[in-house]
């Protein structure tokens, strides 16, 4: 189910998507060539200490490839001109799936946020309690009479998020299906915005990811860091991927899907990263996945370092699972395949950072600048410049929604300077978890 909007007027400076991709790619390659040239002395010095193979692994994994990626993102963001959404004359009916496990403290407020949307079409909400051990079921039953659109499915035994969503999916009545996390809060207009974007995107679109923001950012320095990660990094990557016709993760926290397409690919797979594996199944089937940058949902981010590490381990495992289940997607002749190959480099980058850059920082403290020295410090201005560009773009989006960017200077500097020291080792552990086939657990979003 999809509809085409009226064709917008094209300005004289209009560039097709393929043209923007070509410009971004040429610019990123030029930056990479410059980086290789300027890093030659660093390369030669390091090779004397660790050999050629390890030098290539470290220099390219720490600086050259990340520099290419950052340049591609920066140029793409500068070329991105997203079409404005247009209000619909008639809003289609929607079904919302909310899988809940031990969400007694938050599920009622999530339902309140859905009700306050005042969605201008018919709405069905299915809350699936996945064998919670707390009072989640009692809370939902208590408020059920208040919401005529609410259906409650109470499962006796916990079976995981994918199973809960698939059970709820069997009772879906409408063609558009939206998933919302049970500890989240939908910002005003989020449902109408994501439906409008879905219907106005290209006709082969079968899913659109909403925008996830941190709800509990004031709690401590860990949540303050994540506020910038969601606001900056994650939002920018989804925006660029959507520009080039293939957002790689329609996250389970807030996304819209076509019911028939979900049924075609078999629903949510039973795995650690069910949302990324599902998204890749849709891409593999030839469909487009978009992103709605102004359909905002605020979610509770991990509050401790242990929780954050577990979350990023799960995300890394999800990416590994997607490659295992859909290896053929690497050969799909479409722009989004570029980002699939991009993800293929992440294990290299994460391991190089964990086993090379972090020890290199320790060596530098004792005067040994083999890995970390003036060349690597020169990357910091580029990181701040990219962050400034992302900030300006996202602040503009915030203003259209009546949101204000909070002053969070401490979190920003921790995000730019320290965040990778936590997350890239966590991702490396996630790849190891997948290799060892460790079991999945709820509670690591």
Q: Which pLDDT does position 440 carry in this prediction?
A: 65
* pLDDT band, residue 9 (cuts 50/70/90): very low
How far is it, in rounded angstroms, from Cα 430 to Cα 62? 19
How far is it, in rounded angstroms, from Cα 336 to Cα 356? 30
Q: Which pLDDT does position 375 carry in this prediction?
A: 64
Q: With respect to residue 340, please indicate whether it lies within any of the assigned structural domains.
A: no
Q: What is the pLDDT of residues 288-321, one digit of tens each?
A: 999 999 999 999 999 999 999 999 999 999 999 9
* pLDDT band, residue 10 (cuts 50/70/90): very low
Is pLDDT above 50 for 124? yes
Q: With H, G, I as helix, E, B as strand and everything else as coil, classify residue 152.
A: strand
Is pLDDT above 50 for 43? yes
426-442 mean pLDDT: 82
Q: Which pLDDT does position 424 carry in this prediction?
A: 93
Is pLDDT above 50 for 11? no
230-244 mean pLDDT: 88
Q: With respect to residue 363, please indicate whether it lies within any of the assigned structural domains.
A: no
157-169 mean pLDDT: 94
Q: With respect to residue 216, please indicate whether it lies within any of the assigned structural domains.
A: yes
Tally of structural domains, the chain: 1
How far is it, in rounded angstroms, from Cα 130 to Cα 101? 5
Q: Which pLDDT does position 378 carry in this prediction?
A: 63
Q: With respect to residue 180, please indicate whether it lies within any of the assigned structural domains.
A: yes
Q: What is the pLDDT of residues 243-256, one digit of tens each?
A: 888 799 999 999 99
- Backbone φ and ψ of 124, nearest 5°: -120, 130
Q: With respect to residue 209, please indicate whether it lies within any of the assigned structural domains.
A: yes
Is pLDDT above 90 for 232? no
360-388 mean pLDDT: 77
Average of per-residue pLDDT values in the chain = 89
Q: With respect to residue 283, please indicate whether it lies within any of the assigned structural domains.
A: yes
379-389 mean pLDDT: 76
Q: Domain range holding 99? A: 94-304
What is the percentage of the chain residues whose pLDDT exceeds 70?
A: 94
* pLDDT band, residue 441 (cuts 50/70/90): low
Q: With respect to residue 145, please indicate whether it lies within any of the assigned structural domains.
A: yes
Residues, the chain = 445
Q: Which pLDDT does position 47 carry in this prediction?
A: 93
CATH no. for residue 105?
A: 3.90.550.10
Work out the end-to-end distance of the chain between its first and last CA atoms, rounded to an integer number of angstroms.
29
Q: Pairing state of beta strands 254-258 and 205-214?
A: antiparallel
Q: Specify burial of residue 350 (Cβ count, 10 A radius: 0-12, 13-18, 19+).
A: buried
Q: With respect to residue 9, please indicate whether it lies within any of the assigned structural domains.
A: no
28-38 mean pLDDT: 93
Q: Between 180 and 49, whose confidence is greater?
A: 180
* pLDDT band, residue 377 (cuts 50/70/90): low
Q: What is the pLDDT of residues 51-91, one digit of tens each?
A: 999 999 999 999 899 989 999 999 999 998 888 888 999 99
DSSP 357-401: IHHHHHHHHTT--SSSSHHHHTHHHHHHHHHHHHHHHHHHHHHHT
C-alpha R_g of the chain: 22
* pLDDT band, residue 8 (cuts 50/70/90): very low
């Amino acid at each position: 189910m999809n509809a085409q909007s009226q064709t917008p007027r094209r300005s004289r400076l209009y560039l097709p998507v393929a043209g923007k991709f070509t410009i971004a790619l040429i610019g990123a390659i030029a930056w990479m060539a410059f980086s290789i040239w300027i890093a030659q002395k660093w390369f030669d010095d390091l090779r004397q200490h660790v050999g050629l193979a390890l030098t290539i692994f470290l220099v390219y994994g720490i600086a050259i490839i990340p520099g290419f990626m950052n340049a591609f993102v920066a140029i793409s963001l500068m070329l991105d001109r997203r079409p404005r959404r247009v209000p619909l004359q008639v809003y289609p009916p929607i079904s919302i799936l909310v899988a809940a496990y031990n969400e007694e403290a938050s599920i009622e407020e999530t339902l309140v946020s859905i009700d306050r949307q005042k969605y201008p079409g018919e709405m069905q909400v299915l809350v699936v309690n996945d064998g919670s051990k707390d009072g989640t079921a009692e809370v939902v039953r208590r408020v059920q009479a208040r919401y005529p659109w609410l259906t409650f499915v109470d499962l006796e035994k916990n079976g995981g998020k994918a199973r809960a969503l698939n059970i709820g999916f069997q009772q879906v009545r409408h063609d558009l299906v939206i998933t919302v996390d049970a500890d989240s809060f939908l910002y005003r207009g989020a449902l109408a915005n994501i439906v409008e974007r879905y219907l106005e995107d290209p006709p082969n679109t079968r899913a659109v990811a909403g925008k996830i923001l941190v709800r509990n950012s004031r709690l401590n320095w860990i949540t303050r860091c994540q506020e910038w990660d969601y606001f900056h990094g994650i939002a920018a990557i989804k925006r660029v991927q959507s520009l080039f016709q293939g957002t790689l993760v329609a996250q389970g926290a807030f996304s819209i899907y076509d019911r028939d397409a979900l049924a075609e690919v078999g629903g949510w797979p039973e795995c650690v990263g069910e949302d990324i594996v599902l998204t890749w199944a849709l891409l593999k089937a030839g469909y487009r996945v978009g992103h709605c940058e102004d359909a905002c949902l605020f979610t509770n981010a991990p509050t401790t370092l242990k929780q954050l590490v577990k979350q990023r381990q799960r995300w890394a495992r999800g990416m590994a699972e997607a490659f295992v289940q859909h290896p053929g997607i690497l050969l799909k002749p479409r722009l989004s395949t570029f980002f699939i190959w991009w993800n293929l480099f992440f294990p290299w980058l994460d391991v190089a950072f964990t086993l090379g850059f972090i020890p290199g920082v320790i060596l530098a403290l004792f005067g040994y600048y083999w890995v970390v020295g003036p060349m690597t410090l020169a990357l910091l201005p580029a990181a701040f410049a990219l962050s400034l560009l992302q900030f300006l773009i996202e602040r503009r989006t915030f203003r259209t929604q009546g949101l204000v960017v909070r002053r969070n200077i401490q979190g920003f500097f921790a995000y730019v300077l320290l965040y990778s020291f936590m997350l890239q080792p966590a991702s490396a552990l996630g790849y190891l978890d997948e290799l060892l086939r460790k079991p999945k657990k709820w509670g690591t979003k």
